[in-house]
Chain A
Amino acid sequence: MQILREGDRGVALAPDRGRVEIVYRYRPVDLEETGVTVEDVLVGVDPETDEILTVPAQSTPKLKAARETRKDVVMSVRVPRELADVLALVADRYRAGAEQFAPAVIRYYLAAAASDARLARRLGRLGKSPLATGRCGTSLRLRVRRELHEAIDRLASSAEGVNMSVLVRGAIVAAKEDVLDGHARRRTRELEAVARAV
């Protein structure tokens, strides 16, 4: 696959003018149906009119990512302040920034629970443990894929006394047990990979 660079030239068709020379530039582009504007997309523009005439294949992942982000759901979950401390401690254990790593840790547990009934039960149980049920003095904002949100919703509605907030709190307590208390080597290794990726 040839990777085009800003300033490269090519040929495209322009309305009413036929073949014209184009130059590749980074521009914001609009997606027609959703109205999303995607910034910094490499496109072929007519240097005379600045009209976008082509979008090269290499720009597709950016368009796809913008549409995927739109499909995300932002969850807001009230948690005891101690659980925020737990997330900071877990991030610190991996020398990762808590702001990026903490949501990734929670998503990791929720996604794993979606396909692991035993882990789902564990999160439900831990989410109702004393550490998770103190006074909720802070809130977490968590962006998740719509598919994952639906899976968590199904998990929550299939268990007695469990809702999505309980599962999120349970995920944080599970991270404490697995990482800080050293209960699960496999999960610790997997979270290390997550820490490197964020």
Chain B
Amino acid sequence: MGFRAAKAALVAALRGGNFNHEPRGAISEKNLLAVGDVEPEDVAALILRTRAIDYDVSPHHWDESVTVHTFTPMAAGERWYIKAYFVEDDGPATFISVHRSE
């Protein structure tokens, strides 16, 4: 899945409510989407405005066949950090991180 396909798939998942979150032990409140501090539509807008230069992929540590998509768009002078993956192509998106860069 390339940059454009990842964007489209994640935005569709957000708009369709077809997503979940990956807790690592406890639920990190730095995942602002998981705790409701940002709305799915806000995250979709951030992903849509991401330029190719602010996008990266890496294999997931727990399963290298799963691609983790990292979006780091700028919005209102702040850099955001959005990290998500799909375990299955037609399954829900799983968000690891949604927060402003520290």
Q: Which of chain B's residues 14-32 have a Cβ closer than 8 Å to chain A?
A: 16-23, 25-30
Q: How far is the CB of A14 from chain B (nearest CB, A)?
A: 7
Whether B23 contacts A55 by the Cβ 8 Å rule is yes
Whether B87 contacts A12 by the Cβ 8 Å rule is yes
Q: How far is the CB of B92 from chain A (nearest CB, A)?
A: 8
Please count how many residues in chain A sit with their CB below 8 Å of the partner chain's CB atoms.
32
Known A31-B35, A57-B20; judge A11-B28 contact (CB<8 A): no
Q: Is A67 an interface residue (CB 8 A)?
A: yes
Whether A13 contacts B29 by the Cβ 8 Å rule is no
Nearest B-chain residue to A32, judged by Cβ: B26
Whether A55 contacts B27 by the Cβ 8 Å rule is yes
Please count how many residues in chain B sit with their CB below 8 Å of the partner chain's CB atoms.
30
Whether B87 contacts A11 by the Cβ 8 Å rule is yes
Whether B18 contacts A31 by the Cβ 8 Å rule is no
Q: Is A30 an interface residue (CB 8 A)?
A: yes
Which stretch from A16-24, A145-153, A175-183 is at the chain B interface? A16-24
Whether A63 contacts B34 by the Cβ 8 Å rule is yes
Q: Is A165 an interface residue (CB 8 A)?
A: no
Residues of A near B37 (CB, < 8 A) are 64
Residues of B near A1 (CB, < 8 A) are 16-18
B residues apposed to A, CB below 8 Å: 16-23, 25-30, 33-37, 40, 60, 62-63, 65-66, 87-88, 91-92, 94
Q: How far is the CB of B96 from chain A (nearest CB, A)?
A: 10
A residues apposed to B, CB below 8 Å: 1-2, 10-19, 29-34, 43-44, 52-58, 60-61, 63-64, 67
Residues of B near A67 (CB, < 8 A) are 29, 35-36
- Between-chain CB contacts (< 8 Å), 17 pairs: A1-B17, A1-B18, A10-B91, A12-B20, A13-B94, A29-B23, A32-B30, A34-B29, A43-B23, A55-B23, A56-B19, A56-B21, A56-B92, A57-B20, A60-B34, A63-B35, A64-B36
Nearest A-chain residue to B60, judged by Cβ: A13
Residues of A near B92 (CB, < 8 A) are 10, 56
Q: How far is the CB of B86 from chain A (nearest CB, A)?
A: 10
Whether A57 contacts B40 by the Cβ 8 Å rule is yes
CB-contact partner of B88 in A11, A61, A64, under 8 A: A11
